[in-house]
């Protein structure tokens, strides 16, 4: 009989460990944020430009023919630097 009671005690403790913390969760804090679902026209234009610039640069420079470093400098680096500058500017506003 002691084997069954020990198993039942273990099951009870595991249930307590898993279920009780979920039942006693504190209420979530209300955080007022700007809705992230809407993008400004400037942000939309930036996203489109970020997609088109590397694509057009790849069509013109043809990095698969050995001009990979030049393509990275002309096609990808400006996108990374512009988004980094926007990120820094947004951080300074806050």
Compute the average pLDDT of residues 73-89: 91
Q: Alpha-carbon distance 13 to 9, whole Å? A: 6
Q: Is the pTM of this model over 0.85?
A: no
Q: Is residue 58 included in any domain, yes or no?
A: yes
> Of all residues in the chain, what percent carry a pLDDT higher than 70?
87
**Which pLDDT score, from 0 to 100, does residue 2 have?**
65
With beta carbons less than 8 A apart as the criterion, state whether 46 and 33 touch: no
Greatest alpha-carbon pair distance for the chain in Å reads 81
Of 7-11, 79-83, 84-88, the least confident: 7-11
Domain enclosing residue 46, as ranges: 40-94
Q: Is residue 6 included in any domain, yes or no?
A: no
- Say yes or no to pLDDT of 79 above 90: yes
With beta carbons less than 8 A apart as the criterion, state whether 50 and 37 touch: no
Better-predicted residue by pLDDT, 46 or 31: 46
Number of domains in the chain: 1
């Amino acid at each position: 009989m002691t084997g069954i009671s020990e198993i039942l005690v273990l099951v009870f403790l595991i249930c307590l460990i898993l279920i009780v913390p979920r039942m006693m969760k504190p209420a979530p804090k209300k955080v007022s944020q700007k809705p992230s679902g809407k993008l400004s026209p400037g942000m939309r234009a930036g996203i489109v430009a970020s997609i088109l610039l590397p694509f057009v640069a790849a069509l013109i420079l043809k990095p698969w023919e050995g001009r990979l470093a030049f393509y990275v400098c002309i096609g990808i680096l400006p996108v990374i630097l512009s988004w980094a500058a926007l990120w820094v500017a947004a951080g300074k506003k806050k």
